[in-house]
Every structure is written in C-alpha cells, then in structure tokens.
Amino acid sequence: MRYTSFGQTGLQLSELALGTGNFGTGWGHGADRDMCEAMLGHYLEAGGNVIDTADIYQFGQSETLLGDLLGARRNEVILASKFTRGDSPEAGPLATGNSRRAMIASLEASLRRLKTDRIDLYWVHYPDNVTPSEELLRGLEDLSRSGKILYVGLSNFPAWRLARIATMAELDRSVPIAAAQFEHSLVRRECETDLLPACRALGIGAMTWSPLGGGMLTGKYRKGESGRAEGFGGKVFQAENTPQRSAILDTVTATANELGATADQVAIAWSRSHGTTPLIGPRSLEQLKTNLKAVELTLSAEQLQRLDEVSRLAGMPVERTTLPPVA
C-alpha cells in the first residue's frame, strides 16, 4: 500500500483506513475476537497503518479488542478514536455530548480500553448542538498540551461549522483542526458541494466513511443478503430505492466486469479518486481482502466520467471536487 501526506500534517497515511465499527458483537452484529485478530493482522501485513474506532463502537468492545490485539504493534499505526455518544446505551447526559467534562472522561476511558498513553487522532464524533465552539476548542487544546492526543479532527460536522472552528483555532493559535470525517460514496455525494471544498481551502485532511453505501454498492442486497440493511437496525445503510441508485449500481457492476474486478473495488477506487482516505469497515477477512484490492485498481478517465455522470446530484457542477495532490 502506498502512503500519502494527510492535510497539512506530517502524517503519512496508507491509502485505506481500517474502520472498526464491526470489531465486537455488543451491537448484536459484528465480528468475534478471532475474526478481528485475523482482519487486523492482514490489514497491517498489507501495509495499512490507520485504525479508526470510537468509544461507542460495539459499546466499548471495539476499543477493548484493539487494545488487546495491537500489543507491541501499537506504535506501527495511527490510532484514531472518537467521543460524543458515550460507551454504553445507558450513558447519561454527563457522559455524552462534547462538554469539556464529557471529553476528558471519554478520553480517559478510551485510553484504558486501548491500553495506550495517547490517541494519535482524536475525533469529535458529532456536533451536540449544545457545547459552544470555544469550549470544544479549549478542551481539545488542554488534551493536546497534556500529550494525550496528538491531532484533532471533526467528524460529521457541517461545512460551515468545520470552517468556523478551524478558523477560530488558527486565530487563537490553539491545536489546529487537522482532519474532517464525513460520509462519501457514489450514493452520498452531498459532501462534494461543501465539505470537500472546505477541506481543500483550509488544508484539512479528509477521511470518508461508508464508501460502499453500507454495502449497497457491492450488489449483495440484490442477491438477498442482509448485512447492514438489518444488522445495525438499518442504520448506516443506503437502500437501492430510486431509479438513479439502481442505475449507479448497474454502472458500478458493468465497470467492474470491464476491469475483471468486483463492485466493491470499483466503488472504493472511485471514492479514492477524490484525494480522500476512505474508511473500509469489513466484518470478515474475505470482505477485507477484496476491499484492499481497490488500491490496485485504476479507473480510466472515461470510467470516472461515466460514474460521475450517473451519480451526479441535481445542481452539482460537472467539474470534480478533489483534494490537491500530495506535494
């Protein structure tokens, strides 16, 4: 796997990041310890170096498994985690949200589960629509100065607030907003109208989740499989529920056939073509192996144009929105 600079940081990220929302079975859908160990080992052996988790993933099991499985290889990876939602379904108002209190408590709990003294990239998982941006930045600055977090990112924030907080951090000379995370796929292109341009203008690294539309772009649901359509209660899932989405999947499948590849590889390769770092979230070693082969796939200009056109949203510019190439 090749490595690229991330935003305006000195971090060298692998082309694909490993999302670990499926590490554990606390949500009633996921992978057991043996499968998690196999997936983590294969990802690292393939050259991957970005592990993304959250305290809410499988109600803390994802972080606990990673803490156990990484062991001596901890320093070989960029370890990212998130806070906001709490680590249990019973988490109360003081343990959730983005207040300084919740932030510090969440970080300390994540460090214990991950068995580490720092988190390399700490994400604010969601805006809570309560905590002022000033409080958010001050809390993150304190954690950065303590050495317990090294880089800061905002996940699932609207573009206007991402830009505002990043500018506030720059003016205050506090810990910079190094990264943004948001959904992006052939069936969710809204970010190309605001978040991607914001990242480009501000020099923020972009990590995108669900490049397969929750599995819809693999075509497996046409074959009767369930996956995330049922496994997460239908959350983080894009249904094939419009003529355009059916046309998108038809085009992905046709492109895969042309290349002797699979639909998931085409969808991930298309996502990568925007200069972002896609997060893959496999539940099995088989899924991981086929996802990783996307880095070997090169889509032609004609294939990219075809995929762009079939998935274009109303009012979206014809020009592609991509992050600048690595210097």
Catalytic, out of 43, 57, 122, 221: 57
**Could you tell me how far CA 126 lies from the centroid of its own chain?**
13
* 155 closest CA partner among 189, 200, 206: 206
d(CA 116, CA 112): 7
Residues 6+ apart with CB under 8 A from 25: 31, 32, 58, 61
Residue 153 and residue 82 in contact, taking contact as beta carbons nearer than 8 Å: no
Q: Residue 190 carries which side chain, given as an amino acid letter?
A: E
Q: Which string of DSSP letters, residue by residue, matches 266-323?
A: HHHHHHHTTT-EEEE--SSHHHHHHHHGGGG----HHHHHHHHHHHPPTT--SS---P
Sorted by sequence, the CB contacts under 8 Å of residue 289 that are 6+ apart come out as: 42
- Match 């554990």 to its residue by tokens: 24
Are 61 and 89 spatial neighbours (Cβ–Cβ below 8 Å)? no
> Among this protein's residues, is 57 annotated catalytic?
yes
Residues 6 or more apart whose CB falls under 8 angstroms from that of 33 comprise 65, 69
For residue 7, what is the DSSP state? T
| Active-site amino acid positions | 57
